[in-house]
Structure 1
Amino acid sequence: MTSANGSNPTDRKKDGRSVPSPRTADTAQQRKREDDRPGIWVGYGKLLRKFRLAAGYSQEALAPLLGYSAEQVASVEQGRRPAKAPFTEAAERVLNAGGVLATLQDDVDFAKLPAFFRDFVLLEMEAVSRFDYDPLLIPGLLQTEEYARALFEGHVPMLDEEAIEDNVDARLSRQKILTKSPLVDFSFLIGEAALRQELGGPKTMREQCRHLLATGKLRNVALQVVPTGGGFHTGLNGGFVLVETSEHQQYGYFESQGIGHVVADTKHVSTFALRYGKLRSQALNVEDSAAFIRQLAGDQ
């Protein structure tokens, strides 16, 4: 549509150039947000809507039965927000979805992860062993909800509340691997500095330490503390992870400043393994590590 003088009403002139009007820009932003939606979220939302309509519910009527708001139900149906596991469990029960939505939950959770991290998580899902060294932070698979939230609340650039909750939920969802069958052999080396850094305050750290002690009791988990003040050790260059898959392929992974790298070259992976073995020998043993963590938690 054009105006009386033949110009497009959605365009303005700036320095002789046509510039989209705010209305056009808003439409473009909306399209970009829609294009950025993970396909699995969109597909899940369409199925949710199909089951809802088949059951004869409006969004407003369904929402209280699921324990969520009508806006949250709408967001999930439109693929703008991912469904969390409790949402899916409630939807399966109320809508008699026959396990269809539950089947998609792992893929919905996977799409929440940062793009740079997904290649590694695919390897992690196939792991028979996973060895982790983290000098400055509690490893993600061992974090409590409050510790993880404190990390994401301090993220730079700042995350909005929805993004914080999605990231926390994604991190906690990954922790299912600790108890999946068949069991994966886990080793965690945690720097003393990570245990003493009070993220979220003293209460959060006490609960985090107690969570470490509980997780360390799992028969497939070995947890050791790398003390500070012992001079040079092979972990001073930073944290890393070693994974062996069910096909006995070995990979390394390291991350810094929000950028992750999967290492497949056998020479480099072998170097990682050598360093990990050396670092493990320099750490406190499992029993002494547990005693150290209990002391920090104030439980002895």
Structure 2
Amino acid sequence: MSDWDAGLEDDEAGAVIRTVSRQLKLWREAAGLTQAEFGAAIGYGEELVSSVERGRRIPRPEYLDAADEVLAAGGKIAAMKQDVAELRYPKKVRDVKRLEAEAVEICSYNNSIVDGLLQTREYAQAVIGSRRPPFTVDELERQVAARLARQEIISTATAEPLFSFVLCESTLRRPIGGKMVMRGQLERLLEVARLPNIDLQVLPLGSEENSGLGGPFRLLKLKDGATVALSEAAFISRVFCNPKETTVGDMRYGIIRAQALTPRESLALIDKVLGET
């Protein structure tokens, strides 16, 4: 359970863990079990049970399932699995995931890597693994899991929200992770680009006009009519909510889309690059 150590780097995570640990302890005591007896019943050691109840460890889903069964909680303990699982992800990722869940339209421009919502596991591992100084093995897996968890929003069942992605052609030709990883990533792009709620465009390297030289950014248009702009650069991530700033971002994105190839032309280019890889 080393990857489930409670890294309480924010108040929200701490509050959730304190609530879960308190409930687990109350249910155990109400059942008249010591920590050692409870641990034996669910297949974990007394020390681990103690760490969970003190809020030092985040209980895994299987721990909560076993506790629910042994304590006859009728699903009340198991119901906490989703909230607890979210805490594995960094706060920044949790915040972005919530915003994405509230969006009716998501627009993304990137001139360095494929957008995180479209990345394969192998590509994400290569991108995140290129960080220097590098992440530990556990932290790398945590970051990759967090990125892939955000992709749950791309669902063929609901066809919501609407997505618009513009990728610079350089992101298709930069062999991150090696040729086989890039082949898988290009195939993934061809797959998602055919979904009815996704428009994927490529801004060709040969274009003389490129309004995206300032770097990648995203626009999230929310259900309440507000727009949030996200911009990431080295050492800093920024969120813009001021209408004056988000309007500029909206205008810039519209220009970039106009400079890019059409979705049909973009699919043809991706397929061509895949054939060359």
- TM-score, L = length of structure 2: 0.77
Matches within 5 A, 1:157-196: 157-179=133-155, 181=158, 183-196=160-173
Task: For 2:103 and 2:230, locate their aligned partners in 1 and report how far apart those are by CA, in whole Å.
Answer: 13
Q: CA deviation at 1:125?
A: 2.1
2:244 counterpart letter in structure 1: K
Q: Which residue of the partner structure matches residue 214 of structure 2? A: 237
Match of 1:292 among 269, 273, 276: 269
Classify 1:284/1:72 alpha carbon distance in 2 versus 1 (closer, same or farther; 3 Å): farther
- C-alpha distance in 2, partners of 1:118/1:181? 22
Deviation at 1:255, TM superposition (A): 0.7
1:234 Cα offset (Å) = 1.0
CA shift, 1:111, in A, is 3.6
Structure 2 unaligned residues grouped into runs of 5+: 1-5
Could you tell me how far 1:47 is from its partner in structure 2?
A: 5.8
Kindly indicate whether the alpha-carbon contact (under 8 Å) linking 2:93 and 2:146 is maintained by their aligned counterparts in 1: no
- Map of 1:50-69 to 2, 5 A cutoff? 58=39, 62=43
Q: Secondary structure at the match of 1:298?
A: helix
Structure-2 separation of matches of 1:80 and 1:235: 45
Counterpart residue identity of residue 179, structure 2: P
Q: CA separation in 2, counterparts of 1:57 and 1:89?
A: 14
Deviations 1:62-104 (A, max 9, x none): 37xxxxx999999877766656xxx627853895475556644
> What letter matches 1:149 in structure 2?
Q
Tell me what 1:211 maps to: 188
* Pair member with larger Rg: 1
1:148 corresponds in structure 2 to 124
1:187 is paired with a residue whose SS is strand
Deviations along 1:251-286, one digit per CA (max 9) or x if unpaired, are 211110141111112122111111111111111111
Partner of residue 107 from structure 2, selected from 131, 134, 146: 131
Kindly tell me: are residues 75 and 94 of structure 1, through their superposed partners in 2, closer, same or farther at Cα, counting changes over 3 Å? Answer: closer
Distance in 2 between the 1:168 and 1:45 partners? 27
Aligned residues: 260
C-alpha RMSD of the superposition: 3.5
What is the Cα deviation at residue 194 of structure 1? 1.0
Contact 2:67–2:77 (8 Å) recurs in 1: no
In the alignment, the residues of structure 2 paired with residue 80 and residue 241 of structure 1 have an alpha-carbon distance, to the nearest angstrom, of: 36
CA contact (8 A) 1:192 1:227 kept: yes
Judge conservation of contact 1:251–1:263 (CA < 8 Å) in 2: yes
1: CA distance between counterparts of 2:236 and 2:121? Answer: 23
Q: Under a length normalisation based on structure 1, what TM-score does the superposition of the two structures give?
A: 0.72
Could you tell me which residue of structure 1 aligns to residue 203 of structure 2? 226
Judging changes above 3 Å, is the alpha-carbon distance between structure 1 residues 104 and 132 closer, same or farther for their aligned structure 2 residues? farther
For the 8 Å contact 1:134–1:239, the answer to whether it is kept is yes
CA distance in 2, matches of 1:169, 1:113: 8
Amino acid of the residue matched to residue 172 of structure 1?
Answer: L
SS at match of 2:167: strand
CA shift in 2, pair 1:124/1:289, >3 Å: same
Q: Measure, in 2, the Cα distance between the counterparts of 1:148 and 1:154.
A: 10
| Structure 2 Cα separation of the partners of residues 82 and 190 of structure 1 | 38
Q: 1:90 to 1:109 in 2, by over 3 A?
A: closer
Identical amino acids, percent of aligned pairs: 33
